[in-house]
Amino acid sequence: MKPEVVLYKSLPDDLRARLDAHFTVTAIKGLTPESVEEHADLLARAEGIIGSSCKVDDALLEKMPKLRAASTISVGYDNFDVDAMNQRGIVLMHTPTVLTETVADTMMALVLSSARRVVEVAERVKAGEWQRSIGPDWFGIDVHHKKMGILGMGRIGLALAQRAHHGFGMPILYNARKHHEEAESRFNAQYCDLDTLLQECDFLCISLPLTEQTHHMIGREQLAKMKPGAILINAGRGPVVDEQALIAALKDKTIHAAGLDVFEQEPLPADSELLKLPNVVALPHIGSATHETRYGMARDAVENLIAALAGNVEKNCVNPQVLR
């Protein structure tokens, strides 16, 4: 008998076929309270789950007594209660690496579009406002050779540092839980404490995971330490930044602008103050959203689940210790 697996996000046909070859797969619409209630028997039998963007907390795990592995189609795993999974002996697989370069591209796009006001001025052209040679009210600020501050120098931070340093001649400052030797040797990146990072950088680029420690790591006090000309970019997770404090800082020009791919509430509510501010570029969490990369993430997640349910957690496992 093949193990039962619950799929809670659609997959390309070939990847679904690969999953079907190994497991008895049932696709459901997300892990909402309604779908969990509707598919209670199925979830109670499931040995594996695969999908993304749904909360998997202790209460849900309680309903899945046979679960051995969860595979998320994402690198971030803040939707999962990892402690509860550890206690229950459930492995969590994720998709680092495959999306790193694409997310770094998105962050660079946010850096450029917020500094050069790309979205705002393009909208003005479409609105017919380009009537004569442009003046300073259309100007942006330079990116090249400005100081890039990276908060969270991991896989994505490193790929961003490469673009900024080699492509744009930017000196790199960073803060992370530990020194990143490769960033220091390849890009001459300078490690500094958070206060120094805030005070010195022209672009504060956040590529942090969401944890208890990073929740609201950037709030009113931290924003006040930034340069008035600085730009904040967040492609880590929305709640790393206190959004109300950010809105206030953007309104009163404590900082110059923001480029955001992630928000405290997603989708961003249509009445968010952020959408009324001209100095904000807001993207709908598209960090990894290219055809190639989203396919690669789904492929890796499928392979991760096949490996994990066969007892192989050498690669892409958040908590391999549960099987050791």
Ligand X SMILES: O=C(O)[C@H](O)CO
Ligand Y SMILES: NC(=O)c1ccc[n+]([C@@H]2O[C@H](COP(=O)([O-])OP(=O)(O)OC[C@H]3O[C@@H](n4cnc5c(N)ncnc54)[C@H](O)[C@@H]3O)[C@@H](O)[C@H]2O)c1
Residues of this chain that interact with ligand X (CB under 6 A) are 52, 74-76, 99, 287-288
Catalytic residue among 62, 129, 266, 292: 266
Catalytic residue among 200, 285, 299, 303: 285
Question: Strand 24-27 relative to strand 69-72: parallel, antiparallel, unpaired?
Answer: unpaired
**Nearest to ligand Y of 96, 259 (CB atom):** 96
| Among the listed residues 45, 88, 116, 155, the single contact to ligand Y using CB under 6 A | 155
Residues 229-248, one symbol each (x = binds ligand Y by CB under 6 A, - = not), give ------xxx-----------
CB of 283 to ligand Y, least distance (A): 8
- DSSP β-bridge partners for residue 206: 151, 234
**Nearest to ligand Y of 165, 237 (CB atom):** 237
Q: How far is residue 235's CA from residue 109's CA, in Å, rounded to a whole number? A: 11
The partner in contact with residue 2, picked from ligand Y, ligand X, none with C-beta cut-offs of 5 to 8 angstroms by kind, is: none
Q: Does the annotation count 266 as an active-site position?
A: yes
Q: Which of 225, 232, 268 is nearest to 250 (CA)?
A: 232
The partner in contact with residue 92, picked from ligand Y, ligand X, none with C-beta cut-offs of 5 to 8 angstroms by kind, is: none
CB of 288 to ligand X, least distance (A): 5
- Does residue 288 interact with ligand Y by CB under 6 A? yes
Q: Which of 219, 227, 176, 235 is nearest to 202 (CA)?
A: 227
Interacting positions 166-225 with ligand Y (CB under 6 A): 175-177, 207-211, 213-214
Q: Does the annotation count 256 as an active-site position?
A: no
Length of the chain in residues, anyone? 324
Catalytic residue among 68, 237, 256, 299: 237
CB of 76 to ligand X, least distance (A): 3
Asked if the peptide bond before residue 267 counts as cis, ω within 30 degrees of 0, the response is: yes
Task: Tell me how far the alpha carbon of residue 158 is from its chain's centroid.
Answer: 15
Q: Are 148 and 202 in contact (CB under 8 A)?
A: yes
Q: How far is residue 108's CA from residue 318's CA, in Å, rounded to a whole number? A: 27
**Nearest to ligand X of 72, 222 (CB atom):** 72
User: Which residue's CB atom is positioned nearest to ligand Y?
Assistant: 154
**Nearest to ligand Y of 152, 259 (CB atom):** 152
Q: Which residues of 98-120 are buried (b: 16+ CB within 10 A; e: fewer)?
A: bbbbbbbbbbbbbbebbbebebb
User: Which residue's CB atom is positioned nearest to ligand X?
Assistant: 76
The partner in contact with residue 235, picked from ligand X, ligand Y, none with C-beta cut-offs of 5 to 8 angstroms by kind, is: ligand Y
Q: Are 209 and 184 in contact (CB under 8 A)?
A: no
CB of 157 to ligand Y, least distance (A): 6
Q: Which residues, 6+ apart, have CB-to-CB distance to 301 below 8 Å?
A: 50, 52, 71, 72, 73, 93, 94, 95
Q: Are 168 and 196 in contact (CB under 8 A)?
A: no
Binding site for ligand Y (CB under 6 A): 75-76, 96, 99-100, 103, 152-157, 175-177, 207-211, 213-214, 235-237, 261-262, 285, 287-288
Tell me which residues are annotated as active site: 237, 266, 285
